Amino acid sequence: MYCECGFLSSARLVFEKLMKRDVVSWNTMIRGYVKHRVFDEALRMIREMQYKLVKPSESTMISILKLLADVGNKELTKPMFAYVIKNSNMNHLGANLTTTLIEMHAKSGSVAVARSLFDRLNEKNVYAYTAMVAGYIRCNAVEEGVRLFGQMIEDGILPNEVTLVSLIAECGTDEALDLGKQLHGYVIRNGFVMTLPLATSLLDMYGKCCEISSARTIFDKMERRDIMTWTVLISAYTRGNCIEKAIDLLVLMRESSIKPNQVTMVSLVSFCAESGALDLGKWIHAYIDKQRINRDIVLNTALIDMYAKCGDITTAYRLFEEATNRDICMWNCMILGFGMHGFGEKALELFTKMENLQIKPNEITFIGLLSACSHAGLVKEGKRVFEKMKNKYGLLPKIEHYGCMVDLLGRAGLLHEAYDIVQTMPMKPNVVVWGALLAACKVHKDPDLGELASLKLLEIDPESCGHNVLISNIYATEKRWKNVVSVRKAMKNRGMKKEPGISCIEVNGAVHEFTTGIQAHAQFGEIDDMLREMLCKLEAAGYKPDTSVVLLNIEEKEREKSLKYHSEKIAMAFGLINTAPSTPIRIVKNLRVCDDCHTATKLLSKIYKRTIIVRDRIRFHHFSEGSCSCGDYW
DNA sequence: ATAGGGTTAG
């Protein structure tokens, strides 16, 4: 009972007091740890059990392995596998045990090990086949999966409703969609009844592959719908940025007297996080509490993430402190949140707390910490964290972590140290790594290293338009128009377009989106007047347009004009017009803030006495009283 | 023995 409810220390106490322990008591305790993701302790107990010569029965092993397969944990599969091998005769592994091992390996990414076990099976039943096919789809070896599915049918082993559902559930990726459609066809051809699980898995698959209309067709045809059906469709809409449709469904669902639960709400909250819609996020938060929807650990994490990503780090931290239950994901969200806001010290403090509580950080934790150090210019601390990751926690830095290090050193102006990392890292640097170096070269004006990085980028990924823009940007800063033109031409020939700059601003709960340039907005006349006024006041305050950030080789006057119509400035003008004096203005943009807008926004915060909070692609800028929280360091 | 929905980075 204690294990099931997650009161593991109480369970352990009872366990320790037992005079006699049999296989069942060990099994229960270990399953408790696995179920609640305390893998270290589970492994320790398995070893202790072995030491005490308690020999687990096959069914004990199966039940533990099954749990492991469900949580898809990679760290434990290896030692568990070793343990099973050690305790049984490899040549006489029972079919049931083997099948469970296949499932465990297939679900946790070791598809090759799963296959070798699969090939040793004499009698391959539907469970083994399904586990294997599902494993292939999960690790993106879809062709192999299709082949095996065909072989299974040839062998005369036919899938049933349950196995079809578990396969379809794996098909929510672009790569697997074709297979998913084939399975859908199989379901129809063979006259399976569209039960709720079957329909839900199909709905979810189409939703995840952005084929919402197919999902909708299935949904509309259904006679009965339960909480999962609604939830899946709502997630599909939020994923496709159709928030109005999602909210409509929330209302409709209430009307058909099905009450949303915490799972339903998570996808709505995470939409707000993604799009920076704070007002909507607050509304949903209030809705959750008003409807007395239970806030479990995942929903709390989503809310924390939402507040952090919408600029309200104080509320995010309050929710974090109030949470009675925290997992690694929640800690990571909070660390990432602090980093995003430039509070590097706070992120590090949180990490210290984690360490004191003996909570094991994972690789995402370190991405958060390294990028937090990077945004705050904490070079020494960042280096220490990187060492700790390797030495204390035995985590092998992945390419992302090297990318963070290059960013950390590059941003701080230590270009050659950054380049050292690029040259000595144990894997081939990718576009992210070269891109970080290139961006650093742009900020710290090292055209030679910048050019080298540019060439590498073009070599690895000639199609990436973002990097081409950055390259032409570097040339433009040096007024090397010839090079700018040739990069631009090459882009045009390949049909590449610069990702358009988009700025969003939420006013009275509605999100308004602006792109660059003059646009067909009902209020555009007013906005244009406002922009003119802003420019006048800016110039009076000593602002000069920084035309070096404009990429095009055009006349100076035109360049100024193109600056004036940067989406960010338009959104700001719109905010100034439509919000009450002295309320903060919040803007979310898809690209990084440009130098000119950054300077202008600082001044504007002083001129109009407004706090202006801008979330760019990677971090927050809090502008107030003429300065920015990033300390001009981004 | 086998089934459907949600959170962090890139």
DSSP for A58-111 reads HHHHHHHHHHHHHHT-HHHHHHHHHHHHHHS-GGG--HHHHHHHHHHHHHTT-H
Q: What is the DSSP string of A300-347?
A: HHHHHHHHHHTT-HHHHHHHHHH-S---HHHHHHHHHHHHHTT-HHHH
> Over the stretch A486-513, which tens digit does the pLDDT of each residue have?
776 776 666 666 677 888 888 877 778 8
In this prediction, residues A591-605 reach a mean pLDDT of 88
Mean pLDDT over A602-615 rounds to: 91
Nearest to A125 by CA among A104, A147, A103, A140: A103
Per-residue pLDDT at A397 exceeds 90: yes
Mean pLDDT of chain A: 87
Amino acid A37 CA to nucleotide B1 C1' distance, rounded Å: 23
For the residues A463-489, what does the mean pLDDT come to?
69
Beta bridge partners of A589: A503
Nucleotide with smallest C1' distance to residue A231 CA: B5
Q: Stated in angstroms, how far is A305 CA from B9 C1'?
A: 13
What the block records as the tokens of A82 is 């070793």
Return the closest nucleotide (C1') to the Cα of A205. B4
Q: Which residue is nearest to nucleotide B9 (CA to C1')?
A: A364
Q: What is the pLDDT of residue A185?
A: 96
Q: Smallest Cα–C1' distance to nucleotide B1: which residue has it?
A: A96
Evaluate if residue A24 carries a pLDDT over 60. Answer: yes
Stated in angstroms, how far is A400 CA from B7 C1'?
A: 21
CA of A96 to C1' of B1 (A): 7
Protein A130 CA to nucleic acid B1 C1', in Å? 12
According to the model, what pLDDT value does residue A92 have? 65
Average pLDDT for residues A204-225, to the nearest whole number? Answer: 94
pLDDT, residue A605, reads 92
Three-state DSSP class for residue A633: coil
**Radius of gyration (Cα) for chain A, nearest Å?**
28
CA pair distance A68, A73, nearest whole angstrom: 6
Report helix, strand and coil shares of chain A as percent, to nearest 5: 65, 5, 30
**Residue A31, pLDDT score:** 76
CA of A208 to C1' of B7 (A): 16
The model's pLDDT over A250-260, given as tens digits with 9 standing for 90+, comes to 999 999 999 99
pLDDT (tens digit per residue) in A51-88 = 777 777 777 777 777 777 666 666 667 777 777 777 66
Supply the pLDDT for residue A27: 78
Q: What is the pLDDT of residue A634?
A: 67
Closest nucleotide to the alpha carbon of A328, via C1'? B8
In angstroms, the CA A564 to CA A570 distance is 8
A207 closest-nt by C1' vs CA = B5
User: Each residue of A367-382: pLDDT tens digit?
Assistant: 999 999 999 999 999 9
Residue A369: what pLDDT? 97
- Which residue, counting CA atoms, is nearest to the C1' of nucleotide B10? A400
Distance, Å, A332 CA → B7 C1': 11
Q: Which nucleotide is nearest to A400 (CA to C1')?
A: B10
**pLDDT(A337) > 90:** yes
Average pLDDT over residues A17-29: 80
Nearest protein residue to B6's C1' (by CA)?
A263
Q: Are A297 and A325 a contacting pair, CB within 8 Å?
A: yes
Q: How far is the CA of A194 from the C1' of B3 (A)?
A: 13
Biggest alpha carbon distance in chain A?
Answer: 89
Q: How far is the CA of A335 from the C1' of B8 (A)?
A: 10
Confidence of residue A15 (pLDDT cuts 50, 70, 90): confident
Position A9 pLDDT exceeds 80: no
Measuring from the CA of residue A198 to each C1' atom, give the nucleotide at the shortest distance.
B4
In this prediction, residue A497 carries a pLDDT of 62
Which nucleotide lies closest to A364 by the C1' atom and the CA atom?
A: B9
Q: How far is the CA of A149 from the C1' of B6 (A)?
A: 29
| Nearest protein residue by Cα to C1' of nucleotide B4 | A197
User: Are A310 and A273 in contact, with CB atoms under 8 Å apart?
Assistant: yes
Residue closest to B3, CA→C1'?
Answer: A162
Among residues A233, A227, A287, A289, the alpha carbon closest in space to that of A257 is found at A227
CA pair distance A615, A273, nearest whole angstrom: 11
Q: In the structure, how far is the CA atom of residue A165 from the C1' atom of nucleotide B3, in angstroms? A: 6
In contact, A32 and A4? CB cutoff 8 Å: yes
* pLDDT score recorded for residue A510: 77
pLDDT of A400-453, one tens digit each? 999 999 999 999 999 999 999 999 999 999 988 998 998 888 888 888 888 888
Percent of the residues in chain A that have a pLDDT greater than 70, as a whole number: 90
**The pLDDT value given to residue A400:** 95
Give the residue whose CA sits closest to B2 at C1'.
A127
Tokens 């945004």 locate to: A375
Is residue A552 predicted with pLDDT exceeding 60?
no
Q: Across A26-40, A97-111, A400-414, which has the greatest mean pLDDT?
A: A400-414
Name the token pair of A604. 């504007």
Of residues A34 and A174, the one with the higher pLDDT is: A174
pLDDT digits (tens, 9 = 90+) for A156-208: 999 999 999 999 999 999 999 999 999 999 999 999 999 999 999 999 999 99
Is residue A362 packed enough to be buried (19+ CB in 10 Å), middle (13-18) or exposed (0-12)? middle
The Å distance, CA of A280 to C1' of B5, is 22
Instruction: Look at residues A340, A376, A334, A374 and name the one whose alpha carbon lies nearest to residue A353.
Output: A334
Give the model's pLDDT for residue A496: 64
pLDDT at A402: 96
Q: List the nucleotides on chain B closer than 7 A to a protein CB.
A: 1-10
